[in-house]
Chains A and B, each alone.
Chain A
């Protein structure tokens, strides 16, 4: 830096060591860096925007899936994580403030608390994921809560055991008859309509016996697909943010930051606040469906 200044015949070698030669003032450099960070955050918003779009389309088409499946999410754990992230945002903002005011010890302390909050968030998330994993509440073909219901009784509903003959008499679940009383095809059937068969079999079932199945909408796995992708990508951002804050913490301990130079602290803070911001929308959309 100073070599370049001398080469250009610039006698001012006393300016800030952090100021790159292509910026006129530290303020200009700081504001340029900040604009660059905001542009990056915009790409993050658009990335999550695609997922929010998928959420909106599926919820508009199949609200019953969301109303049914959100009962498997624990509101108190979600609210706890919201509180943890909001608190970590506060400590991050306080860390930036400490750096601006040359308070080295406070800067280190606030950064450490912020990372700690990240660990608490991930721990709560792990508890939630583990619970869903155990009960087969997963995405796509891995969604199989029926298989797990006989072993555990602590989730939303308990499966009533079906009498054997009910399963033998018809491979088709009675729910399909209840939902679609008129079969719709584009061809005329070769089989003459029968008065009491095969649909007539439905009358032999006790509808109360199938209450727990009848209330289950189809394709619940879609909700858990959306849930895992959105919260998973968010958790990945939390992990990346913790890594960045760890790097900032290391540099703070080495005394790199001061009132004259705190841009990395500020920009990492912006990233961390964005992670908080996305969770602020994820929490009501996933946990608080009415």
Chain B
């Protein structure tokens, strides 16, 4: 069996080392605990951004190690990150647009108030 492992580690398919997988799992659990714990503190707008940052770190760990992106040819990562880029582009343009149509902006201009 140890010959088998050696053959694969230098050979065609990369086998993720056991300590790495267990370590990634432990890190994911710690980050899950952290993201729940942080909601007990009121940090204003930062709460959302910290939660998103932690989620992105967790997603990166899953993609890099569980999904093997780190060991794959980089083209798979380009495809994956490309899709995330386009989703971000989509969401940010939609947000830029919807902010322009904020109802309170219209309230100042359009309606005629009772005299």
The residues of A with any CB-CB pair to B shorter than 8 Å are: 25-27, 30-31, 34-35, 38-39, 41-42, 45-46, 49-50, 52-53, 56-57, 60-61, 75, 79, 82-83, 86-87, 89-90, 92-94, 96-97, 100-102, 182-189, 193, 259, 262, 266, 269-270, 273-274, 276-277, 280-281, 283-285, 288-290
Contact = CB atoms under 8 A, between A and B. Distances in A.
Contacts of A90: 21-22, 24-25, 66
A273 B4 contact: no
Given A49-B91, A57-B98, A188-B115, 18 more contacts: A30-B12, A38-B76, A38-B79, A45-B83, A46-B83, A87-B25, A89-B66, A94-B21, A97-B16, A100-B15, A182-B113, A185-B112, A186-B110, A259-B8, A259-B13, A276-B62, A285-B51, A290-B39
- 4 smallest A-B Cβ distances: which pairs? A49-B87, A290-B47, A284-B51, A42-B83
Greatest chain A CB density within 10 A among B22, B65, B66, B114 is at: B66
B112 A27 contact: no
Contact of B54 (A34, A38, A270, A284): A284
Contact of B87 (A41, A52, A75): A52
Contacts of A79: 32, 36
Interface residues of B, number: 60
B112 A186 contact: yes
Interface in B56-110: 58-59, 62-63, 65-68, 72-73, 75-76, 79-80, 82-84, 86-87, 90-91, 94-95, 98-99, 102, 107, 110
B80 A42 contact: yes
A273 B68 CA distance: 11
A187 B115 CA distance: 11
Contacts of A86: 25, 28-29, 32
Given A93-B66, A97-B21, A280 B13 contact: no
Nearest to A193: B114
Contacts of A49: 83, 86-87, 90-91
A277 B87 contact: no
Contacts of B36: 75, 79, 288
B87 A184 contact: no
A91 to B, nearest CB: 9
Interface in B22-59: 22, 24-25, 28-29, 32, 35-36, 39, 42-43, 47-48, 51-52, 54-55, 58-59
Contacts of A186: 110-112
Given A27-B13, A184-B111, A89 B84 contact: no
